[in-house]
A and B are shown apart, each in its own frame.
Chain A
Amino acid sequence: MTNSIAEFEDSGCIFIIGSNTSACHPLIARRVFRAKEKGAKLIVADPRNIQMARFADVAVQQRLGSDVALLNGMMHIILKNGWHDKTYIENRTEGFEDFEAVVESYTPDKVETITGVAQSDLEKMAELYAVNSPAALLYAMGITQHTTGVDNVKSCCNLAMLCGNVGVRSGGVNPLRGQNNVQGACDMGGLPNVYPAYQPVTAEANNEKFSKAWGKPLSDKIGYTITDMIQAINDGKLKALYIVGENPKLSDPNQNHIDDALGKLDLLICQDIFLSETAEKADLVFAAVSVAEKEGTFTNTERRCMKVNKAIDPLGNTLNDWDIISRLSTEMGYEMHYENPEEIFNEMAALTPSYGGMTYERLGLDGLQWPCPNAEHPGTPFLHKDQFTRGKGLFHAIEYLDPAEMPDEEYPYWLTTGRMFAHYHTGTMTRASKHLDTEQKTGYVEINPKDAKALGVNDGDIVHLATRRGETKVPAKVSKMVEPGVFFVPFHFAESPANILTNSAFDPIAKIPEFKVCAVKIEKAA
């Protein structure tokens, strides 16, 4: 996030797009409700009729995968009315002319055809966002999990820059991260192209710096993304996979394809706290400890690095993840010995400029927000204050593109996937929790009452869902959460897996799969 969670309370307008905030980030939704109480305007755009929509000044249900057209349409109206921040655009950005030329063609009429959003609603969205500064834009996987994920994000940035909302308190472009330490995993260099703090592996100076610190020559060749890995296994190029704390068999698209690929490996090692669906396929399983049995840090969605403290001793014969990795390294001939996580943190901070001023002592109970480059630095609540990290903010001229798969005669309906409030990701943690399991014990598919009637399906009936990738049976949940012709399946449930259905087509730059849109056929199970 460019900004901080607490700042949303003082926003003039909050625009939520592609985030089911009250279900998936309830304590961020709370700040939105508080902002409303203080007079902020709320805009919600989501293909489903999510709870946040009930509190909105304007709420729309855009057609799945039509976000670029929707955002371009808002910006078209803002420009036509002269609501854009001309001084900000002049002083702080570049690329405006090319961008303006593309947006020019996204008339409300054209946008209504693509998105299904009424012109009057689009005009209201544009006005509320543009005239109630500072406006904060919040998004989640509804924006990113598309073949046009990068285009969608850039369009969000275009909108924020157009109205001068980047680099100001209570504004910004704010992706709500879905996992506790997904920000930290990226910051720490858990990516194939960068060392910690996004230092590219291809730059000679970085290679030299890390090579010196770690005492080994290092590769400057960019590695495989998770999406590339599956292909590389099938091509016979990838032979061994070591998976720490993930369950790709359930979380990746086109599950049948992954299952085949994992079976072709010479060696699969999994490290987890539960025997996940992926770990069941492993040659070796390292039993790790949970959050309550370890010390360390997590970095949340607002870049706040916070302490995790050991409450109880490791259960059974389990080990800390850092201890397992150290032992494995040493056994492989690279001596790795640490006394405790603090020693690792200090080594990391010395190589990671944005964390350079952090120590366990300074983190205290509240944590620190990066960048925090030196011991006196108080941390950074919002980014790009006087100038963008790259200097000038760059507008991108972006045309709308269709999703990779659209409904047709054979697969006539839209399918989308996501989370529900009581469960989390592949359910390995929440389904093992008694009180959360009680809230929702099985998978389901949301069906609009009109479709249910046409298909002869009652609430709780088992329906058969099929896409070009696979098929599954799941109980129907008749609900106005979805529009007619659109179906929603949560991906937490291994026995009715959403990702046997989803499309593995991915964004060419971010390599993120299109979990949010595919074509499906549905019938009542015999």
Chain B
Amino acid sequence: MDFKIIPSTCSYCGTGCGVLFQVMDGRLVDTLPMKTHPVNQGRLCIKGWNLHEHVISEKRLKSPLIKKDGELQETTWDEAIKTAADGLKAVIKDHGPDSVAVLASAKITNEENYLVQKFARAVVGTNNVDHCARL
């Protein structure tokens, strides 16, 4: 049996509690509060205690999807990325970069948010980038 404890940060509200993910034989089995953490000092709320449950949910997307004949179907990453890139390039060519917008996210990491806005600004060429801080 291989058992690991991985320190991390809760991804529900903006409080930012320190959590410990418990991993047994490569499977995420539970969430514990981090005792030493300056924010939560060894405590969690009901959402934090159950943080692992959404991760291992059966409802998780397991593959990229593409709409064909009006239905979303599983596809490969190569096809998904190529179709997206071709579609975006066509819109930019016909209507200019400001006809494209990107929504960043309050759920993804700083590194990923940095890349999302870099993508909008440097790759597409627009400042049409926002996220749901207002919502």
**Hey, which bits of chain A sit against chain B, CB under 8 A?**
5-6, 24-28, 30, 144-145, 176-193, 195-196, 201, 210, 214-216, 218-219, 221-227, 229, 232, 237-246, 248, 251-252, 266-267, 269, 272-275, 280, 282-288, 290-294, 296-302, 304-313, 315-322, 324-329, 331-334, 336, 341, 344-345, 347-348, 365-367, 421-422, 424, 429-430, 432-436, 439, 510-513, 515
Contacts and interface: CB of A to CB of B under 8 A. Distances in A.
Given A216-B122, A321-B112, A436-B46, A292 B52 contact: yes
B1 interface: no
Interface in B72-98: 72, 77, 80-85, 87-89, 91, 94-95, 97-98
B48 to A, nearest CB: 8
A419 B63 CA distance: 31
Interface of B: 4, 6-18, 21, 23, 26-28, 34, 36-40, 43-57, 59-67, 72, 77, 80-85, 87-89, 91, 94-95, 97-123, 125-135
A421 B50 CA distance: 13
B78 to A, nearest CB: 9
A214 B102 CA distance: 18
24 contacts: A28-B15, A182-B131, A191-B129, A219-B98, A219-B121, A223-B130, A224-B130, A238-B101, A240-B101, A242-B102, A246-B107, A267-B91, A291-B11, A293-B55, A298-B16, A309-B6, A313-B26, A321-B116, A322-B109, A322-B115, A325-B119, A332-B88, A344-B115, A434-B50
Interface centre among A242, A248, A252 (most CB of B within 10 A): A242
Given A223-B128, A424-B13, 16 more contacts: A27-B15, A181-B109, A215-B122, A226-B132, A238-B101, A242-B88, A244-B112, A286-B84, A287-B61, A304-B38, A308-B11, A329-B123, A366-B37, A432-B59, A435-B49, A436-B50
Given A191-B130, A244-B116, A298-B9, A239 B15 contact: no
B133 A182 contact: yes
B129 to A, nearest CB: 6
A227 B134 CA distance: 9
